[in-house]
Structure 1
Amino acid sequence: MEHSDVVIVGAGLSGLAAAWRLREAGARSVVVLEGRPAAGGRAAASGAPLPDGVPPASMYARRTDRDLLDLASALDVPVDELPDDPALSDLRIDEDGESEASDEHMPLDSSWWTLLRNEWILGRIARRCEGIDFAEPWRSANAEKLDALTVRGWLRSHTSDPELLELVEEQLTLAAALPADRISMLWLLAHLGPTPARGERPLRLDPDLLVRRLAAWAGDDLRTGHHVSRIEHGGERALLHGDWGSLSADHVVIAVPPSDADRLDMTPAPAPSRRRLQRQWPQTEVIRTEIVYWRPFWRGFGLSGELHFDDGIPAWTIDDSPSESSQGRLVAHTYTFGEADPLGADQSIADDPDRHRALLLDNLSGVLGPLAADPVSLHQTLPDSTPYSRAYQSPMPPGFLTEFGPLMRAPVGPLRWAATETAVFPCNGTLNGAVSSGYRAAEEVLAEVASHA
């Protein structure tokens, strides 16, 4: 049987980053197994048919995302700032379909007192972030108390202003992609980070180019179409099996989300606590739609392309028009939780792609005019039947972090865990988290090798 020092399961960004770090450190034999026909996982191109010269849609980073930005630099992947023209206006569309220009995504009829109180509440949240252990939030002071609270419960204990509650909940829903009544306060504080960003323009990069260059660098060490169905790890070596055959390894890095890891048949079976972690792992479903037009015509109307719909289809859009092309592109995000929540939508749209497309274009043409109804291409990322997850964000419900947090990165025999869901906060659930989690798993393997040298 073929043997490798390290086998990495999953060639998404975290798995490829783990291979990169291991090879940099001089690891002798590293094999990366990927079930899909191509590497990249959730960072790969969506497969949308694009006009000539239009690159895949961007993903976003912050200036503090050093692991991601340094890796992009090493692979010569361009990073630029998302353009911001102060002369262009955003639009908010209310529940009656009326639109008004806005620079701050705030309801224009909000009173100065509500806006001031909004800053006060967000300031209180920022100060609470200062006491969080971002590597292990479950070890923070008052962790159990904070984890038992929903964000909505915390907000309502600090204000009785209904306008303020709606405003802050909407802002936090945009940040977390889940309503405030479903999120642990401890998770939110860890997610926001020690210095929550306010008004900072994100950086953007082409994640598909990043993973393609990582895959090219990996060469023959990367094997696509190799879905791992079973892992045996009770002896001195781990054995990995699939329709393609079998491999043995001294160390295994599982670079897939915990929910996907639960589909692996393992011998010996995971401890009950680890199995509960995998089976209960939360994920939020966001329909991400890339809409390409012949040109960014909304700019000619004095609009930025950032649209916030209160009627749910879509929750919000952003202008991601490629700088090296004349085409325009809007990226729309539709949340799939119920209409009763801020930014909620009719949940049936996730089951009917044609209906979602029609409602989306109808909403866009209602505010941008008939040009919005005739895109060059449109691609929706909807839930599908593949055995691989697509959601990055994992907003955690009350009690989850303190119960399962200590297990997220705990090794199981020769198995180490990567994927952005295992990264430290606040980069957990981001592209930078994918890279850093791969690096951390690689360092764990290297430390284990050194200890037996």
Structure 2
Amino acid sequence: MSNKKKVDIVIVGAGLAGLTAALELKKHNYSYVVLEARSRLGGRIHSTISSDGVTVDLGAQWIGPHHKRMLGLIEEFGLQLVPTFRTGKTIYEMQGKRKQTNGKLPIMSPIVIADIMKMKRKIDKISREIPSGAPWTSKLAQQLDKITVAELIKTILLTKAGVSFAKLLIEEALCANVYEVSALDFLWCIRAAGSIDHLLAAEDYWIAEGAETLINRISDSLGETIQLNQPVQRVMYNEKKVTVYTGKESWQAKKVIVTTPPNLLTRISFDPPLPARRVQLSERAGLPSVIKLICVYERPFWREAGLSGTAYSDQTPVKLTIDSSPLDGRRGVLTILIGGDSARQIETLPLKLRQIEVKKALVRLFGEKAAYPIAMFEKDWSAEEWTRGGYATHFATGVISQFATSLTSPVGPIHWAGTETASEWRMYMEGAVQSSERVVHEVIHEITKE
């Protein structure tokens, strides 16, 4: 192994959190290196282009109107936002019934709608009792961390249709069954977004050039400071310095910022070992299962039928579809998300059979024309070696209240970032950027004290 290289800060991970941390460190004239295990940049952001020039986002894609940091980056790097197509009816499949509606709720009885509105108000009220940066400190933490999301919604909602509707939307958002996730985890997400309504508006825009274009433009502005194919294997540290080893090189620094998902932390050897609570948190931090598919059609035929392209279903493997067609309408693009149990079941099939199952589901939702895409793209994020799931970590009962106190607490010169550590918009790209903002401030403060 070559002699140790020296920088002020080592950043582990070249996803959005790592790259925006580097961007901020560069502004403050600190030296740094970004070490990335993959052969590409972006982490959970990954885009490609179809043979006829249609942008395809296989990873994180959507941006909401309240994502001020992402909106700032998009403006700074000269990218174009596309509003998600919402004109027309949304399809809801629940309890064996298919409904279409022009509103935000499917057509249901006034009693069910009142039940759902009551749930939204109740959840917003409870979530305001949870500190977004430290939910484990809430007076309600222990109580909420003992029950699942399934138990929470059943205690609030009085109607079966209301429970089905809430389950449909929440399971898509979490990529997990409502009985798998702590109620505290879910309410923390709501708190970090500001409200349920904010959360439901988080898919309002996407980047015309693809989210990975933002990653590439940030990278271009950083120069020769990013090292690909450099999985970090070992971190040796004391209070004054840290040495980071990959299979090829080693780097000595004052601080290290780790931006990888918590589940991947177990693949790095730390000397001395990390505190037991931090290790136990990582061991309980597996990401949910998710597969994202893109179907490209000759044209957005669903619009001709008065449909928006948005569909929710608890009757097929496809949990959510959204229209991601280019602005000029030269092609129709349906983005398809399969999460939780459905993802785990369908990923066992060969690729051709998976595609057949997806097309069957789309035909059920949109008619026979959906069976004939001119191109299909797929990304199984659970199979991705350096991610192992998506969209972000959600915790089972008992984990946050017992172990998450270590989520953002520095360990000597080691600091933590990534969307899982965000106090605003946890799970989203905005959360990744907010986490880097926090950690850079933290690191600079510590360095200037020394």
Could you tell me the TM-score, scaled by structure 2's length?
0.91
Conserved 8 A contact 1:56-1:208: no
Quickly say closer, same or farther: Cα 1:367–1:388, change in 2 above 3 A: closer
Distance in structure 2 (CA, Å) of the matches to 1:111 and 1:297: 31
1:423 aligns with 2:422: yes
What is the aligned residue count?
437
Residue 355 (structure 1) aligned to one of 320, 345, 353: 353
Conserved 8 A contact 1:146-1:186: yes
Distance in structure 1 (CA, Å) of the matches to 2:100 and 2:420: 37
Give SS of 2:56's match.
coil
Distance in structure 2 (CA, Å) of the matches to 1:287 and 1:184: 23
Q: What's 2:394 paired with?
A: 395
Bigger mean CA offset, 242-251 vs 409-418: 242-251
Give SS of 2:434's match.
helix
Q: CA deviation at 1:300?
A: 1.5
Q: What's 1:273 paired with?
A: 277
Conserved 8 A contact 1:257-1:389: no
Q: What's 1:262 paired with?
A: 266
Distance in structure 2 (CA, Å) of the matches to 1:203 and 1:234: 44
Q: Mapping of 1:3-82 within 5 angstroms?
A: 3-27=6-30, 29-45=31-47, 47=48, 50-57=50-57, 59-82=61-84
Bigger mean CA offset, 212-221 vs 49-58: 49-58
Q: CA deviation at 1:91?
A: 2.3
1:444 aligns with 2:442: yes
Q: CA deviation at 1:375?
A: 1.5
Quickly say closer, same or farther: Cα 1:99–1:184, change in 2 above 3 A: closer
Residues 375-411 of structure 1: CA deviation (Å, up to 9, x unaligned): 1221121132624345232222222211122100111
What is the identity, as a one-letter code, of the residue corresponding to 1:90?
T
Give SS of 2:188's match.
helix
Q: What's 2:85 paired with?
A: 83
Residues 213-237 of structure 1: CA deviation (Å, up to 9, x unaligned): 0111111011112221111113743
Quickly say closer, same or farther: Cα 1:157–1:136, change in 2 above 3 A: same
Quickly say closer, same or farther: Cα 1:346–1:6, change in 2 above 3 A: closer
What is the identity, as a one-letter code, of the residue corresponding to 2:55?
P
Give SS of 2:232's match.
coil
Q: What's 2:101 paired with?
A: 102
1:158 aligns with 2:162: no
Quickly say closer, same or farther: Cα 1:161–1:368, change in 2 above 3 A: closer
Identity of aligned residues (%): 24
Quickly say closer, same or farther: Cα 1:356–1:151, change in 2 above 3 A: same
Give SS of 1:351's match.
coil
What is the identity, as a one-letter code, of the residue corresponding to 2:337?
H
Distance in structure 1 (CA, Å) of the matches to 2:155 and 2:40: 49
Conserved 8 A contact 1:105-1:308: no
Residues 98-140 of structure 1: CA deviation (Å, up to 9, x unaligned): 74422346554x3221221221122111221222211111112
Residues 41-62 of structure 1: CA deviation (Å, up to 9, x unaligned): 11122x5x61322123371122
Distance in structure 1 (CA, Å) of the matches to 2:132 and 2:262: 20
Q: Mapping of 1:164-203 within 5 angstroms?
A: 164-193=162-191, 194-197=194-197, 200=201, 202-203=204-205
- Structure 1 spans left out of the alignment, 5+ residues: 338-344
Conserved 8 A contact 1:392-1:420: no
Give SS of 1:8's match.
strand
Distance in structure 2 (CA, Å) of the matches to 1:226 and 1:325: 41
Distance in structure 2 (CA, Å) of the matches to 1:310 and 1:354: 23
What is the identity, as a one-letter code, of the residue corresponding to 1:403?
Q
Conserved 8 A contact 2:168-2:313: no
CA RMSD, Structure 1 to Structure 2 (Å): 2.2
Conserved 8 A contact 1:418-1:438: yes
Residue 373 (structure 1) aligned to one of 365, 371, 374: 371
Bigger mean CA offset, 244-253 vs 345-354: 345-354
Could you tell me the TM-score, scaled by structure 1's length?
0.90
Give SS of 1:406's match.
helix
Bigger mean CA offset, 53-62 vs 220-229: 53-62
Conserved 8 A contact 1:309-1:316: yes
Give SS of 2:196's match.
coil
Residue 5 (structure 2) aligned to one of 2, 6, 23: 2
1:119 aligns with 2:117: yes
Q: What's 2:302 paired with?
A: 298
Q: What's 1:342 paired with?
A: none
Give SS of 1:253's match.
strand
Q: CA deviation at 1:346?
A: 7.5
Residues 137-180 of structure 1: CA deviation (Å, up to 9, x unaligned): 11123221122222222333334433332222223323333232
Quickly say closer, same or farther: Cα 1:299–1:161, change in 2 above 3 A: closer
Q: CA deviation at 1:447?
A: 0.6
Residues 408-435 of structure 1: CA deviation (Å, up to 9, x unaligned): 011111111111111114x111100111
